[in-house]
Structure 1
Amino acid sequence: MERTRRRFLALGAAAGVAVAGCNGTGDGSDGDSTPTTSTATGTETTTGTETETPADTVGTVVVDSVTVQPGLVGVFVDFYLVLRRPETQWVVAEVAAADGPPPESFAVTTPDDAFEMRAEIEYSDAGLAAFGDAYAPTEPGWLAAEVPKPLEAEEAALTWDGGQYPVDGALLDRLRRPRTEFEVSFEAAPVDAVDGAARSIVTIENVGDVAGTFVAGINMTFPTNRPERRITRRVGAGETAVVGAAHRWNPGSVRGGSGRDYDQIDLLLRWRGDNISRSVDVREGS
């Protein structure tokens, strides 16, 4: 994941724009952050300064961060869903506004195309596991756009009515990077001498020619449905990564657990275009 942090204010179409530079660290397994040049365009352009968002300024839009994601892990009621297709990637922006524009006015634009950003993913009630609440005109949150991978464009920007935010530097490089391929295995076993406990191991091999980020989710599917582990792991070309997770069934402790004991846990690994399920006998001494 490539992430940049830069506070960007748009004070309406007639008031011009102001930009302040501020670099942060990305969340997830990449952990890299790349500064970008603070530039902006609007009806007027002003020199970038360190500016705090006026809390009561109507029409203000603040872009706190923009990330490039090969896929998204959403949470829908009681399971992880993985939004990733071989031919696409995602741009996710964290946006705040005071009586700002509606979500549908935001887009990722290139000289030839515009890709609408949205505050909903495939299930309207689903949220993004790493980003919290979705954007609304009076509430801060995320907006996401699905764009081609690679993005064949020399420049790109996040745009909305009355303003824009350049997507440049390492972010643009990441968008233009070709996709890679992973070979994946998923194993699960009981934890010795512990009732109701299991451990799982996901092995991820990058068999492509470029580095890539593996995005997945592990769900428990029996004796209840619940999200167990979200995985975002960057793997170099020709390299292998191993991700472990612990799982525990406590009767009566989660929805669907009526206090009844079970001797099996079913786990499901979901990632781009595929799933692997495993059943584990979790009764001590069995």
Structure 2
Amino acid sequence: MTSSHRLMACLALVLALAVTTTACPLGFGGSGGTGGVAAARRALREAGWKETAAGEVPTDLGGFFIPSGGISAPCQNFPGCDGNTTWVEIIAQIKEQVSPDDDLCYWSWQTLPPPGATITAPGQYNYAPIHDQAIAVQEMGYTAYDRLNKEADPDTCTYGCGAAVWAGLAFGSEMTRYLCSVNASAEAGVCSEPYYNQVWRSPVAGAIWRFNGTNTQNLIEVVKEWRRSEQGHAPMINSPQIQQQGWGDGGSLTAKLFKCDDIPELYRGQFPAPPLFRPDGPLADAGMKFWLGTQGLLPGQA
């Protein structure tokens, strides 16, 4: 058995046992300690993905859930978490074990279902009563999409240089159909079948961040700055749609880890952000299909 296969078998055993263990000589350091990181890893896998607004999405190919606050937040409320170690630090230590010689990419999807969507049957959600909110979310999505794309571009980045790899955006089948039915879509080209038959029911944003083995602390600050800066994502996080009107309730943030070179080049840079329209459907939707069907670097769920 190769060392990589032994590692994966060991990790799978840790996950299956669901206890903090030092039986596997992983050698994790950092403020979380060996047991802390192993338990946090397990916590990622145990949490799963409960995104009912998009339907049940399998996590058996290495997908895992990130709690509220994102990867720059400390790991808390999971067995073995010390409350100080961030998810970035945990992933950086995982990178040293599963991808020591290659850059590791963390590819996440943040869903933003409209209020009440998670208890509404597919195809039955009524956007008409929240028309103005839907228009605001459409504008908010384009703005966020453009901003993160700029951070992935070495010529336009301000604080995400080298860490941000890709941004993606899709409004989902139901919201797209509604906006097109009332002539409110920002792009007429998306009023077509590929956009009416997306993986997603409602809005979703994708992001890829790079771990190169030396940028852990910088990446923590980059993600924090992205979340708190008025030039970054703060206006969206603090918007009335999110804070007061219930967009995102029942949504989730889920991710996989890949070697960056294993991600198709199409999802490693768009400079600057183009319109969403592509003849064969939204790029984020195609990206999600790749993400769903491709094994991540964490072992499958036992």
TM class by smaller structure:
under 0.3
Q: TM-score, normalised by structure 1?
A: 0.26
Greater gyration radius: 1
With the length of structure 2 as denominator, give the TM-score of the two structures. 0.25
Higher fraction of helix: 2
Q: Which has the higher contact order (CA 8 A, sep 6+)?
A: 2
- In proportion to residue count, which structure has more strand? 1
